[in-house]
Structure 1
Amino acid sequence: MDAGELAVRWAAMLDGAVAPTLTRAQVEQLLARFCPRLIAAVRGAADLSVAREAAAALVAANYRDPLAVHRSVLVLCKDLVTAVCPEAECADYWPVRERAIELAAEFAAEFTGGLRNAALAEQETTLSAALTAAREAEARRHLSEARFQAIFEGASVGIGTVDITTGTVIDVNNAMAETLGVPAESMPGRSVADILGPVNIGEAFALFQQLLSGEIDRFRFETQHTKPDGSHTVVDLSMTIVRDREGKPRFLVGVTVDVTDRKQLADQLWYDAHHDSLTGLPNRLLFFDRLAAAGGQVGVCYLDLDGFKEINDRRGHTAGDRVLSDVGQRLRAALPANAMVARLGGDEFIVLVENCSGQAELTAVTDRLLAALEDPFDVAGLLVRVGASIGTALVDTDATAIDELMHAVDTAMYRDKALRHRTNLPPLTQPPDTGLS
């Protein structure tokens, strides 16, 4: 599969994801600009930043559907790998696959940022239009009131006005009512505190009181809102004082945007970018983020599998992936509450033990990890065994700069790994015991 065919395949995958500004042929042309560099990047011959450029181009082309991210990640992790390594036994298969996952993570991170920026820009435009119309309504009432009313009633974001002297609602549009889950006709004349209800009184209400007292002129933040029916939404809330020509406060304008879907998409993209797609474990990026944030003494266990290559060679990568997935689950289940396991890539795993009391605790964790791998793994009716080699290190994060910390961990892990007893258990290939003779 060459770059042109990859672009056609990608465009086909994006069919159904809403992008009304482009035709199918235009989508293929857009993607064709990036596919040669993506292929070069997955081969290690080009920078990974091309994935971010491709994501930014799709967001700019009005791809805002989460389906576009999902299908693009599939293309980067599957079709791109196939384009470079048509056969799973290709010598560069694993390095290519790892770089493809990194490309997908870069793509997802840029797409998330692009969606957020686009949403914020749209909200800022709407808020600016609403405020401009409100000021014009005060200065040239007969001309501007109709314009403001059209924006007010037809806006897709929630807009409400509040009396600055009493703190009661003057008017709200239907979008505001839908966001808050309260009928629009029931809000005018009621206080903001009464409308929000006790469960939602918090930071927003405190900032609202500062607006009424004149301590601040505006505020904006995201908050979780509980509707009267018990459902939850994430709301981006802005509130601003509208003043007359002399600078005297006249009323407050509030704008709400339901960002629940965007927040969920951002959370999912963050998860995908920080977790291994095969095992579901944290990946290298999340592991080193946790290590950098840790305080005090930490323990690190570096683990690679013995006998795994033989399983891949004899049973194929599908069997190998199944074993890696099961290994990840066993390791996670074996750890205490203060430890996390991440997959670095291939058959390499790493464990972080936070607030580690010393070598005795680290040794106990190591023994639990080895014990978790003692039982054979069932792969399509065959039992296979893998052993493990583990190197360990104890590091005082409070006394060590992050760069020195990484070097100390790396050096100590490989030193201990070379000295530690290796559990060389040859893979078994036999059917599981069914108890039948």
Structure 2
Amino acid sequence: MRWAEALDGAVAPTLTRTQIEAMLAGLSEALEAVVLGTAELTVARDAASVLVAANYRDAVAVSRSVVVICHDLVADICPTTAGPNYERIRDRAVLTAAEFAAGFTAALRTAALAEQEATLVATLAAAQEAEAKRQLSEARFAAVFAGASVGIGTIDVTGKVLDANLAMAEMLGLPVELMPGRAVDELLGPANIGYAFAELQRLLSGASDRFRLETEHLRPDGAITTIDLSMSAVRDSAGQVRFLIGVAVDITERKQLADRLWHDANHDSLTGLPNRTLFFDRLANASPPIGVCYLDLDGFKEINDVWGHTVGDKVLRVVGERLRAAVGPVDGLVARLGGDEFIVLIEKCTGAGKLAEVSGWLSQALVEAMEVEGHLVTVAASIGTVFLDDVPTAPDQLMHAADTAMYRNKAAQTMRESRFRQRK
């Protein structure tokens, strides 16, 4: 089975090879139904959760699975790219892969947070029991402290480090032997004094009992580490704060993976432009007045028919690059809606005249012929524009207005070309 072979090396020790193949066979059927449109996209998220539950937690597991969905699964459904449903199946597969990746990230985070919470509870229980028995020093050096894979540290009521394990020191980029006895603000340095330090002061003053946050830490070597930090106050029988205990997890790679998966889910895989989802999100939060240019390429179908989809895909990439460069002066957002349809959002647009000027830039950007695969290709676009003083409460109405304006433009262009041919 190709998926099982692709996941070789992304170890799932709780399952045998037979069990893995049986699990993946079921997931493949579910994902195929999503790609075909007979199942909801949420099924892809559920499939990713099953994979994480089976202990596939390495980033390579999701990257290889995305390749299987976007390549192997599409090839099984559409053996040839010339089929009438190929583009629809391919686009649906990209959406399925994005949902799968998002589900994988969510499930991975849930599992990691559960493990972190269990470690924190165990550490606090051990420390409090030791305090009750007046064995604070044994608690600080308990096995859960020294051997934990997560960073653990304790701080006294004056803000000085009592102790820290090796994992904490490595996370902060500091020698573990130099940490005890030094003030937290001295160890962190000015670049890292911020919200986390303010919360630490609240703990020390007794104003709060615990906090949890994600923070970026600038290490002495210049590297930036993203840390999930939990800190709690340990009190004596009279309710006085005796010391603080912190548990930290290095989530740098997970954060980078989440950022990459978010980018992939919100950008067109062919052109790299924002996709429909990101466009509507930006539209809903745009700063008015706004202008929208809706573009539909003229003659693109003939390019695909004459030279094939490979040339057509490269033409779309060049078009995307030219449109993005054209709106640079007004910092416009260029998105690909799908097929040969593009849309441009201009925030704080100064008026309909400015929008017409931007439309002219877009048209002019496509005038020059492009050389693709040895072919000299020329493509134009029909453009519809809409100017609004406020962000629309019903984006569908905006899209309908832009679409209508674009088709009026296309009809007018066709009529002008017809009259020109008649005069000739």
Query: How many angstroms apart in 1 are the aligned matches of 2:8 and 2:74?
Result: 21
Comparing 409-418 with 348-357, greater Cα deviation is found at: 409-418
Matches within 5 A, 1:15-414: 15-140=8-133, 145=138, 149-164=142-157, 166-335=158-327, 336-398=329-391, 400-401=392-393, 404=394, 406-414=395-403
Please name the residue that 2:422 is paired with. Answer: none
Aligned length: 414
Structure 1 residues 321-375: Cα deviation after superposition (integer angstroms, max 9, x where no partner): 1111111111111113431111111111111111111211111111111111111
Deviations along 1:49-79, one digit per CA (max 9) or x if unpaired, are 2211111111111111111111111111111
Mapped contact 1:297–1:354 kept (Cα < 8 A): yes
Query: Whole-Å Cα distance in 1 between the matches of residues 156 and 404 of structure 2?
Result: 70
Aligned-pair identity (%)? 60
**TM-score, normalisation: structure 2:** 0.93
Q: Using the alignment, how far apart are the partners of 2:370 and 2:264 within structure 1?
A: 27
Cα deviation, 1:206-256, whole Å, max 9, x if unaligned, reads 111111111111111111111112221111111110122343322110111
How far did residue 412 of structure 1 move?
A: 1.0
**1:319: Cα distance to partner?**
1.1
Verify the 8 A CA contact 2:12 2:55 in the aligned structure 1: yes
Question: What stretches of structure 1 of length at least 5 have no aligned partner?
Answer: 1-7, 427-437
Q: Root-mean-square deviation (CA), in Å?
A: 2.0
CA contact (8 A) 1:294 1:397 kept: no
Indicate the SS of the match to 1:361: helix
Give the secondary structure class of the aligned counterpart of 1:171.
Answer: strand
Write the letter of the residue equivalent to 1:410.
M
Structure 1 residue 285, shift from structure 2 partner: 0.5
| Deviations 1:7-35, CA, capped at 9 Å, x for gaps | x2112111122322223322221121122
Cα distance in 1 between the residues matched to 2:402 and 2:146 = 64
TM-score by length of 1: 0.90
Q: Deviations over 1:384-429 (max 9, x none)?
A: 111211111123335x42xx2x132122112211221566799xxx
What is the identity, as a one-letter code, of the residue corresponding to 2:144? Answer: I
Question: Quick one: distance in 2 between partners of 1:187 and 1:73?
Answer: 43
Q: Which amino acid aligns with 1:252?
A: L
Q: Which runs of at least 4 in structure 1 moved beyond 3 Å after TM superposition?
A: 140-148, 421-426
2:53 counterpart letter in structure 1:
A
What is the one-letter code of the residue matched to 2:397?
A
Between the aligned partners of 1:381 and 1:257, the Cα distance in structure 2 is: 53
Contact 1:395 1:408 in 2 (8 A): no
**Paired AA for residue 77 in structure 1:** C
CA distance in 2, matches of 1:33, 1:148: 47
- Tell me how far apart the structure 2 counterparts of residues 328 and 142 of structure 1 sit (CA, whole Å): 67
Shift of the alpha carbon at 1:304? 1.3
What amino acid maps onto 2:176 in structure 1?
A
Task: Give the Cα separation in 2 of the matches to 1:148 and 1:135.
Answer: 13
The secondary structure found in structure 2 opposite 1:33 is helix
Residue 36 of structure 2 contacts residue 89 of structure 2 at CA under 8 Å; is this kept in 1? yes
Q: Does 1:418 align with 2:410?
A: no
State the alpha-carbon separation in 1 of the partners of residues 238 and 56 from structure 2.
Answer: 45
Given that 1:237 and 1:255 are in contact with CA atoms closer than 8 Å, whether structure 2 keeps it comes out as yes
What is the distance in 1 between the residues matched to 2:37 and 2:30?
10
State the secondary structure of the residue aligned to 1:87: coil
| Pairwise CA distance, 1:38 | 2.1
Q: What secondary structure does 1:188 align onto?
A: coil
Maintained 8 Å contact 1:298/1:353: yes
Contact 1:224/1:234 (CA < 8 Å) preserved in 2?
yes
